[in-house]
Amino acid sequence: MKKLSILALAACACAAQAQSSVTLYGVADVALERVKGATSATRAASGQQQGARWGLRGTEDLGGGLKAVFLMESGFNMANGASGQGGLLFGRQAYVGLAGNFGAVRLGRQYSPMDDVAGLVGTKVYDVLSVVPIIGNGDYNRVNSAVTYLSPKLANTTFQAQYSFGNPRPAGDASPNYTKQVSVHAIHENGPLTLGASLMRVTDDNATAAGNQGKSAALLVAGYNFGTFKVTGYYDQEDKGTETMRLYGLQGAMTFGNTTVSAGVAQAKNVTGLASAARDNAKLYTLQASHNLSKRTALYGNLTIVANSADAALGFNSPVAGKNSNGVQVGIRHRF
């Protein structure tokens, strides 16, 4: 009888484990780079192809097609060991939710829907959407206290809607709605064609000025994969100061076995958003290569050149208005 009881308990334990899973994962990524801005510098830089991180993700089968899901992800600097995202323990993501045939609902710190669409173009440090400070891949690529709904795939299209309660503000604060935002996206993938669109509205983007200093942004992406060659175009516009910043670009990527080489060009207009800045435009040129040594490990190289007009200051290493800026790097990335 005791043997039967022990076997029964063991079977129950195995069944419970089969219904739940927790995975430890991460990325180790470091590059050597030479950057030119206010001055030139040679340095080691962390997380250039993918942000260095470690995390835990898991699911529990609740039955009837319903699952509990969670993810906690911590960023860090491979060059000096420091915590990323301002020292937050799980600064990259920290959420819990439910998933099923209806889609998924998540609560916590999460990527914004616009960041997902930006990812169709590229959000690496040397990518255009990172060099140009668009809000969907900048201040609001991750948002706190967010409620997110992710739809199942419908006609090859997924939808996402998110509301963020922002950072708590003390009673009587002049900017009670600071960092609150609502955003949505739709991503359509049908064979070689990929389309993405996202809208974001930040209720108040200024922590000191009384009342709501709102900001809106829109991002459109279209890509087509011809097999070994893929072309992607994109357009972004958003409130910036008293004017509207606009960014549009085109990039192509060619794959040769385990190696992918890409090149792109982009134009940014009104990057300061100030009416007094008559010449605040910039042109950006990118050249990138990545070679997979295995499914987990890759070598990569990136070159980005920014040509600033008189009032624009985009680029690397504290760029100077009216001066060109550039960066070149080679690195290694390993996923575990």
On whether the CB atoms of residues 51 and 92 are closer than 8 A, the answer is: yes
- Domain segments of the chain: what residues? 25-335
* CA–CA separation, 119 and 245 (whole Å): 20
b or e along 113-122 (b: 16 or more beta carbons within 10 Å of the residue's beta carbon)?
A: bbbbbbbbbb
* pLDDT digits 0-9 by tens, 148-201: 999 999 999 999 999 999 988 888 898 999 999 999 999 999 999 999 999 999
Predicted pLDDT at 310: 97
* CA–CA separation, 189 and 326 (whole Å): 34
Predicted pLDDT at 168: 86
Predicted pLDDT at 196: 98
Pick the CATH number of 25-335 from 3.40.50.450, 3.30.70.260, 1.10.20.140, 2.40.160.10: 2.40.160.10
CA atoms within 13 A on the CB side of 240: 23
Residue 54: phi and psi, rounded to 5, are -140, 150
Residue 308: phi and psi, rounded to 5, are -90, 140
pLDDT grade for 241, boundaries at 50, 70 and 90: confident
Predicted pLDDT at 327: 98
* pLDDT digits 0-9 by tens, 52-84: 999 999 999 999 999 999 999 999 999 999 999
Dihedral, 139, 140, 142, 146 alpha carbons, nearest 10? 140
On whether the CB atoms of residues 332 and 29 are closer than 8 A, the answer is: yes
> From start to end of 119-192, where are the E strands?
142-150, 157-164, 181-190
* pLDDT digits 0-9 by tens, 98-148: 999 999 999 999 999 999 999 999 999 999 999 998 999 999 999 999 999
Is a pLDDT exceeding 90 seen at residue 90?
A: yes
* CA–CA separation, 210 and 203 (whole Å): 13
* CA–CA separation, 91 and 76 (whole Å): 9
CA dist 233 → 13, 75, 138, 270, 290 (Å): 51, 30, 20, 20, 20
